[in-house]
Amino acid sequence: MLAAGAACAGEVEVLHWWTSGGEAKAAAALKAKLQTLGHTWKDFAVAGGGGDSAMTVLKSRVVSGNAPAAAQIKGPSIQEWAREGVLASIDDTAKANNWDALIPKPIADGLKYKGSYVAVPVNVHRVNWLWVNPEVFKKANAKVPTTWDEFFAAAEALKKVGVIPVAHGGQNWQDFTTFEAVALGVGGVDFYKKALVQLDAATLKSPTMEKVLTTFKRVKDYTDKNAPGRDWNLATAMVINGQAGMQIMGDWAKGEFLAAGKVPGKDFVCAPAPGTSKAFTYNVDSFAMFKIKNDANVKAQKDLATAIMSPEFQEAFNLNKGSIPVRLNMDLAKFDDCAKQSSADFVASSKAGSLVPSIAHGMAVPSAAEGAIKDAVSQFWNSDKMTAKEAMERIASAAKVK
Ligand code: GAL
C-alpha cells in the first residue's frame, strides 16, 4: 500500500507572490493542505506585492517550456494565457465537485476557456477599503472619513498632531489602487465602469476624470517623503504601529494586522474607501493550471484544485488572507466583522449593479492596457509638473495599448 501511495504522489510547483506576513501564513495553509494529500509542494514565490515581478518571471519560464503546475493568475489574464494554448483543462475536477453551483457565475465564467475550467479560485478580496488606526485618530480628534472632503479634513488633523496621515509605498500598483478608489468615490459606479472597465475614451477625458485626478494627486500631499520604494506591507505596518493614521488598500492589509496580533474594531478599523460604501471593487485570486507531462504530477495538480475549493480550505486560507471565501453558502462564524461586512456588501452590490472589477489588480481590462494605464497614473503621481489634463491624455492613449 505504501508503494502504491508513493507511486501516486506527485509534486506541484506553485508560482505565487504571497511573501508578506499575512500572505505567507495563507500560502502556508495551501502548502499544508497539499501535503496532507501526500503530495509535495515546490514553492515558486516571487516577492513583490501585486504580482508584477511574478508575471515577468512566469513569462520567461513558460517561454522556455518549463511552466510551473499552477500559477497565481487572475482576471482577463487567464484568457490571455489560455489563448496561448498552455493551460490545462480541469473540467473533470470541476464537474466532479459541482463547481458551477459553488462559484458565482460571473466569476466562474472568467475561470473557463471555451467552456472548460482552466483555473480555480481561492477568495474574494475587496479592494476599496480604508484602514485606520483609531488611537491616533482619537489623538488627532479626527473622524473616520466617509467622503473625500472628510478624508482631507482627517488628514489635516493627523498632520497637526505629527502623524503621517496616509501610509503609502513606492510600487506603481499602490498608486493605482489609490487611484481606482478615488475614481469610484469621486466619479461613482457608472463613471468607474465607463472609464476603467470599458475604457471609453470620452469618459477618460471628461471633467469628472479631471476631478478624479486632481483629488488623487491631493492624497500625495499627505504621504511621507520616504514612500518611494516602500513595500505595501511596510506601509500597513506604519498604520499598525501608529506612525501613520490610515492606508487605502485591499483587505490583504487585514492579513498584516491579524498576523501582528491586532484585533479588528479595537486596534484597527476597516471602513469602505471614502464615497464607496455602496460599491464593491473585487479582486479574485485564482490559480491557473498549466499543461504538464508527468501523470503523478497531473494527479497532484487536480488534487490541489479540489482541495482549494473545499470548505475547510476556503475557511482556513481566507481567515489568514483577509479575504472572504469565493465558495458560496459558506458559514462565516469564524470570520471577523470586516469579513462579514465584505460578504454582505458583495451580495448587496452584486444585486444593485455596483460590484466592479479592480483595474489595479488585474480584474478589469487586458493586461497590456492595464500596464500602460498603471504607468501613466504613476507618472502623474510622481511628477511635479504634469497637469491633470496632460495625465488624462496619457491615460486615454494608454487605454488603447493592445
Ligand atoms: C493582489 C493579490 C492579493 C494581494 C496583493 C498584494 O494583487 O490579489 O492576493 O496579496 O496583490 O500582494
Q: How far apart (Å, rounded) are the C-alpha atoms in residues 238 and 167?
A: 6
The predicted pLDDT at position 8 comes to 81
Are residues 262 and 179 part of one domain? yes
Residues 173 and 321 in one domain: no
Same domain, 209 and 190: yes
pLDDT tens track for 102-151: 999 999 999 999 999 999 999 999 999 999 999 999 999 999 999 999 99
Q: What is the whole-number distance in angstroms between the Cα of residue 362 and the centre of ligand 1?
A: 10
User: Is there a single domain that holds both residue 269 and residue 311?
Assistant: no
| Gyration radius (Cα) of the chain, Å | 21
Mean pLDDT of the chain: 96
pTM of the predicted protein model: 0.97
Task: Decide whether any atom of ligand 1 lies within 6 Å of the 169 Cβ.
Answer: no
Report the CATH number at residue 93. Answer: 3.40.190.10
Pocket test for ligand 1, best of 14, 17, 363 (most atoms within 8 A of CB): 17
Overall number of domains in the chain: 2
Nearest CA-CA partner of 246 in 314, 156, 325: 156
Check: CB of residue 136 under 8 Å from CB of residue 241: no
Looking from the CA of residue 49, the nearest atom of ligand 1 is 12
Q: Do 293 and 164 sit in the same domain of this protein?
A: no
Q: Are residues 379 and 252 in the same domain?
A: yes
3-state secondary structure of 402: coil
Ligand 1 near 283 CB (within 6 A): yes
Cα 226 to ligand 1 centre (Å): 22
Same-domain status, 119 and 152: no
Determine the structural domain holding residue 335 and report its residue range.
Answer: 2-125+283-350
Atom of ligand 1 nearest to the CA of 123: 9
**Quick check: CB of 176 below 6 Å from ligand 1?**
no
**Given the DSSP bridges, would you call strands 119-121 and 286-289 parallel, antiparallel or unpaired?**
antiparallel
In sequence order, which residues have a C-beta less than 8 Å from that of residue 6 and are 6 or more positions away?
none
pLDDT at 267: 98
pLDDT at 4: 45
Together in a domain, 268 and 155: yes
User: Are residue 33 and residue 112 in the same domain, yes or no?
Assistant: yes
Q: Which residue has the cell 511621507?
A: 224
Q: For position 113, what pLDDT does the model report?
A: 98
Q: Clarify whether residues 151 and 32 are in a common domain.
A: no
| Ligand 1 centroid, distance to 150 Cα (angstroms) | 28
Query: Is the Cβ–Cβ distance between 122 and 317 less than 8 Å?
Result: yes
- 238 and 332 share a domain? no
Using a 6 Å cutoff on CB, does residue 23 contact ligand 1?
yes
What is the Cα–Cα distance from 225 to 169, expressed in whole angstroms?
A: 10
- Tell me, in angstroms, the distance from the centre of ligand 1 to residue 324's CA: 14
Query: For the residues 32-36, what does the mean pLDDT come to?
Result: 95
Query: From the CB of residue 96, how many other CB atoms can be counted at a distance below 10 Å?
Result: 10
- Answer yes or no: is pLDDT of 254 > 90: yes
Instruction: Tell me the per-residue pLDDT of 346-358, one tens digit each, with 9 for 90 and over.
Output: 999 999 999 999 9
Summarize pLDDT for 54-79 with one digit per residue, the tens: 999 999 999 999 999 999 999 999 99
256 CB under 6 A from ligand 1? no
CA of 177 to the centre of ligand 1 (A): 11
pLDDT tens-digit map of 210-250: 999 999 999 999 999 999 999 999 999 999 999 999 999 99
Which residue CA neighbors atom 11 of ligand 1 most closely? 50
Kindly state whether residues 59 and 107 are assigned to the same domain: yes
Q: Is 252 in the pocket of ligand 1 (CB under 6 A)?
A: yes
Instruction: Name which of 211, 259, 240 is nearest 24 in CA terms.
Output: 259
Say yes or no: CB of residue 323 within 6 Å of ligand 1.
Answer: no
269-272 and 244-248 as β-strands: parallel, antiparallel, unpaired?
Answer: unpaired
Grid cell 508584477 — which residue?
52
* 285 Cβ inside 6 Å of ligand 1: yes
Instruction: Say yes or no: CB of residue 22 within 6 Å of ligand 1.
Output: no
Ligand 1 contacts CB of residue 17 (under 6 A): yes
Closest C-alpha residue for ligand 1 atom 9 = 285
DSSP-assigned beta bridge partners for residue 68: none
Assigned C-alpha cell, 384: 511635479
Residue listed under C-alpha cell 490610515: 246
Q: Is 121 exposed, middle or buried (0-12, 13-18, 19+ CB in 10 A)?
A: buried
Is 282 close to ligand 1, i.e. is its CB under 6 Å away?
Answer: no
- Listed residue (314, 332, 166) closest to 249, CA to CA: 166
